[in-house]
Structure 1
Amino acid sequence: MKALIELLAVWWRLPDQFNTFLRYLEDRGLVVACRLLVGGTAFGMGVILIVMRWSEVGPQGTFWRSVNLAISSACLVAGVIWWLRPLTRLWSYTFVFGSDIAIALSAACDIDPLARLLCCVVFASIGGYIAFFHNPKLQLGHLVFATLVTLAAGWSLLFGDNTDWGLGIAKIGVTLATIYVIPVVSQIMLAMFSSDATTSELDPLTGLLNRRGLSRRATAIVGDEINELNALLVVVIDLDRFKKINDLHGHDIGDSTIIRTALRIQLWTSKSALIARVGGDEFVVLERAPFGSVAKLSTRISAAMNGDNDVPETSASIGIAIRTVPQTSEEAVDDMVAALFRVADSAMYQAKREGGNQVRASIV
């Protein structure tokens, strides 16, 4: 029992998984497949709801048929949005809330309690989606809402004109078990299975790669030929006077500053770049860019890293190592990246010695 309580406590403390899981999909080229799958499911539900209009236990009367038509249309539109628009956190939350409401209204449209309960089973798929993309708090709210709708859907089996307690308890119980077991077990198992991977490859505070994760994935970005039109850059970023921020404002503000810095780094990097947090306030980026664009990139980095209204005020010292010479057959990727890191690190310390809040670049 103690182990179960500890596992539930770990599950409850899980942060929102949207950025982490989306990055996981992007790293493996699965974003389009995910959008096609979820969009296809939403579109398919819209088609099913249209078919229910011709069922004897489907929507009856002008009002409920109008509700059915509105929901089925919304499902079809949601499917198209999934196919055509990029996945964002706002759309993901909108999809979850909209889906819960659509399922509840779809269940209300059916006149047979068993048909209503069957409709409620679809709550399980939304719970599974939340398990991958979001957090336990949203999951709990979803489950409470799904429970209330399921009880209302099967109410007539327990207290209606044709009460059948045995059937009602059995069907409501099976429906609730499906709604609860699939998402909760999925989210707990994901927490367990991803724990080692998160510890070994990802920084738990920012969701970026850690030093080991950067090393393991470096081959992917170094694989293309290196030349002046496609130079390899190693960028080292170190916050200026970060210890003072921790000492004066506390570690919570320090953590917020680290997270803010991680988000800002993503503003100027390409989607293919590797971004890692390799120390308390030190970040490393592996990026590919034309040699002629490095000066402009340095300006973009400076503009992106500093905010006029930051509280507490922060700045960063940045070193860039640039390689335009192709990799030789004798060079190992790790050795080449390590050499570039040393050059970039030296450039960063030069910027720091000169007062910080500067970018220094060196060509290898």
Structure 2
Amino acid sequence: MPHPTRPPVTQRVRASRDRARPGRHSGSRRIRNAQRRPLTHRPRDSALDVVRRWLTTPHDFDWIFVHHSTRSIHGIIRLVFAGAVLLNATVSMLMLASPNGPSGTPAIVYVFLVLALQIAAMIWVLTGPTPDTKAQFLGFLIFGDVGIASVILLDTPTSALIGTFLFAINGALCTFFLSPRVLLAHLAFTNAVIVLIGTLAYVQNLWGPWDAIAAVLVASGASSGVPVFASIAWSLVSTDAKASDLDSLTGVRNRRGLQNSVEDLWETALATTSPVVVVMIDIDRFKSVNDRFGHDQGDTVIVLVATRLAELFDGHGVLARTGGEEFVAVLTDVDGDVESVVARVTETVHDRQDTIPVTASVGVAVLTPDSSLWSSGPGAIDRATRGADSMMYRAKAAGGHRLLSTFL
């Protein structure tokens, strides 16, 4: 068996956790009858199916924002936030200077107040920590929507309609970082403001009825069409990107999933000064299972083993399938109970009551904060992976169905 690089991850793998399981391996009764997935592609979804899935699929802000491919643009996100606030503040200042802008002391004082808040928000975005929570993004959206609407409504309707295009910036924020339902709420608010402006223009005899309707449709389409289409496309791409990190048979991480999260794991270990434990698991004599029972039953065994291991390691780290019958678990011992968890690996894999009982050879490598490898950074995890691999081969050479460990 080759020794490829196996960098690991920290995100939790949740496999069937919310299903009722009366016994330790009761899930095997359901899983052992699983069928191999067909090789043909499923039929293409209709447009209605795509929209329905867009609306109902849970939004995963953490995955989008902390995903390895978006980390490099966190600084750009900060600048975009600041630029959006600066643009709104500039509009507020221009309105104050315009002869058609807000008149009367209360209106002028209010615009000055909004301008002060916008400047404060811009300073906070530029000097404070990068916004990294869903609540912060949602707060920025509400601040932007309410601020834009309340300021432009103080201007003449014809000028205010032009100001509604500022809502497109907030629509982009929803598209990439907030859920479709939040986007729809934003668009409902935006279009309500647009309709109100069109109505005011008609009532004040600035436009005729057809002019008002045309202006409302143009502003509504410009503010709503692109964000909705982009959000649907982004949702589809995100779903495919998530799936590319998972093993299609078992649902646990694949090798790509491990490689994409090394930094997360290492940061967790450093922040908590917790040992990193790498566990290599290889099903013993798996070729004979395929030869005797067929590949469909072999796949069933792999799914069953993956489900049991995922439940065992849940909350401690990540499990990945890195080969046909080979799994890698990378754990951080934050709570001090990983040793007892790892000790149960062999008994978790093996159950005599299974239709096809199997055993596993297990290799464990423990990387502690006082190790000489600790200072080498995430590369130390690669070294631990090779150490666990070596222990696993020794366990297999000794007859299998056992666990051997080493400290680095």
Q: TM-score range by the shorter chain?
A: 0.5 to 0.7
Query: Which one-letter code corresponds to 1:337 in the other structure?
Result: T
SS of match in other structure, 1:60:
coil
Does residue 90 of structure 1 match 2:124?
Answer: no
Out of 169, 180, 196, the position equivalent to 1:152 is 196
Match of 1:125 in 2: 169
Query: Which one-letter code corresponds to 2:217 in the other structure?
Result: G
Q: Whose relative contact order is higher, 1 or 2, with alpha carbons under 8 Å and at least 6 apart?
A: 2
- Shift of residue 148 of structure 1? 0.9
Does residue 337 of structure 1 match 2:385?
Answer: yes
Cα-Cα RMSD = 4.4
Equivalent pairs: percent with the same residue? Answer: 19
- Shift of residue 155 of structure 1? 1.1
Q: How many residue pairs get matched?
A: 286
Match of 2:320 in 1: 278
TM norm structure 1: 0.64
CA distance in 2, matches of 1:175, 1:156: 15
8 Å CA contact retained: 1:210, 1:277: yes
CA distance in 2, matches of 1:234, 1:113: 64
Match of 2:85 in 1: 42
Out of 302, 309, 321, the position equivalent to 2:365 is 321
Does residue 180 of structure 1 match 2:224?
Answer: yes
SS of match in other structure, 1:15:
coil
Measured against aligned partners, the alpha-carbon deviations of 1:208-230 in whole angstroms (never above 9, x if no partner) come to 992233344478799xxxxxxx9
8 Å CA contact retained: 1:277, 1:283: yes
- Shift of residue 19 of structure 1? 0.8
Gaps in structure 1 of 5+ consecutive residues: 223-229, 239-253, 266-274, 288-297, 306-314, 327-332, 348-352, 354-359
**Structure number with larger C-alpha Rg:** 2
Given the superposition, is the C-alpha separation of residues 221 and 5 from structure 1 closer, same or farther in structure 2, using an over 3 Å criterion?
closer
SS of match in other structure, 2:341:
strand
CA distance in 2, matches of 1:232, 1:183: 45
Match of 2:48 in 1: 5
Gaps in structure 2 of 5+ consecutive residues: 1-44, 266-272, 282-306, 322-326, 344-363, 374-380, 396-400
- Shift of residue 175 of structure 1? 0.9
Query: Which one-letter code corresponds to 1:69 in the other structure?
Result: F
TM norm structure 2: 0.58
SS of match in other structure, 1:302:
coil
CA distance in 1, matches of 2:63, 2:221: 29
Given the superposition, is the C-alpha separation of residues 136 and 277 from structure 1 closer, same or farther in structure 2, using an over 3 Å criterion?
farther
Measured against aligned partners, the alpha-carbon deviations of 1:268-310 in whole angstroms (never above 9, x if no partner) come to xxxxxxx64537xx994478xxxxxxxxxx4x3338x9xxxxx
Say which structure is richer in helix: 1
Given the superposition, is the C-alpha separation of residues 162 and 30 from structure 1 closer, same or farther in structure 2, using an over 3 Å criterion?
closer
- Shift of residue 21 of structure 1? 1.7
Larger mean Cα displacement after TM superposition, 335-344 or 194-203: 335-344
Match of 1:301 in 2: 335
- Shift of residue 126 of structure 1? 0.8
8 Å CA contact retained: 2:277, 2:331: yes
SS of match in other structure, 1:81:
helix
Match of 1:170 in 2: 214
